Amino acid sequence: MAQRTLIRPTGFIDSPFGHDGKVARLAGGLNWFAQVELIRGDGSRELRAVEGIEDRFDERMAAQWAALTAPRAPLQLGERRIPLDQPQVMGIVNVTPDSFSDGGQFADSAAAADAGADMAGAGAAIIDVGGESTRPGAATVWEGDEIARAVPVVRQLAAGGAAVSIDTRKADVMTAALEAGARLVNDVSAMTFDPRAAEAVAVSGVPVILMHHQGAPGSMQDDPRYGDVLIEVYEWLEERIAAAQAAGIARDHILIDPGFGFGKTVAHNLALMNGLALFHSLGCPLVVGASRKRTIGALSNEAPPGQRLGGSIAFALKAAEQGAQIVRVHDVPDTVQALKIWRGLRDQALTPRV
């Protein structure tokens, strides 16, 4: 990142009224910020007011600023149109025997599909179906088994009118799930695991989530290391966006996820969450999946996954405060309720005073 300066929005305020020229809107959403942190290539950081900041920009910084402040287009998933000017909930349905939180929860595909339908009914805009656990220490699952687990659930949910995402790293699973009605691919490897994945997504024309990771699931938590985790994850995602575009995937079909818990320590995860707003300058909708993750247990007396609701909601609200467009969660009704309260607070703050 030599000689480059990154722009991280901060100094968030409740309302832009009365602050003309002193605040900027984040990604066309419900968040306004009055300050930015300029992160330089040598690691130094400087806090600056938004007022007059554009006069200091070089060409690359101007491009970042345009990406930071541009509205995000709605997500078109088949016939479903999902607005991204407010945070949306993605519900997790893991049809696996060994996922860290809900592995083995569903006796069969019908039970899993019913759970997904309940999530949609509770307010989840998207249901993310996965047939392979990528928890720390997980082994790779054969494509045939993964298809057998996930595709019947995808088919039933899509037939019921839900917007469905397929959580997979494998091209064959992507193709089978898309044929069954999935309209979004969520690849935790950012299309680095399967060399055919990028082509499968490009040919299908569906959007894709590119998630950062360090190492393979089996070993990613052994000893993850970064110089500056925020900058390194940013640059890695920047490279993956470019690779996706080179493969024929339109930029407006790319979403990004910083990969909370995938090859990161507790400190790394917290640094990413604190600096989350930086990633908006990549110009893609931001997905955050911190639900029930190990960091919550580490900060709460080793609470097991089923007892991490409070921490999951805290992270979801922190993500919403920094403009995340999608939060991926296990506990849909509780998260939807929390975000409704957050939205109510924002609506009140954004109601002009008379």
CA distances from 113 to 76, 120, 326, 329, 349 (A): 22, 10, 21, 16, 39
Neighbours of 65 (CB within 10 A): 19
Q: What is the enclosing helix (H) or strand (E) of 321?
A: helix 309-321
Task: Look up tokens 């467009």; give the residue.
Answer: 325
Give Cβ neighbours of residue 239 (< 8 Å, ≥ 6 apart): none
CA distance 297 to 123: 26
Whether 293 sits among the annotated catalytic residues: the reply is yes
CA–CA dist 98, 101 (Å, integer): 8
- Quote the CA–CA distance of 81 and 60 in Å, as a whole number: 32
Question: Does residue 22 have an active-site annotation?
Answer: no
Active-site annotation holder among 8, 183, 292, 293: 293
User: Is residue 276 a contact partner of residue 289, using CB atoms and an 8 Å limit?
Assistant: no
The residue to which tokens 């938004």 are assigned: 50
At residue 74, what are phi and psi to the nearest 5 degrees?
Answer: -60, 150
Of these residues, 8, 170, 294, 328, which one is catalytic?
328
By annotation, the residues acting in catalysis are: 293, 328
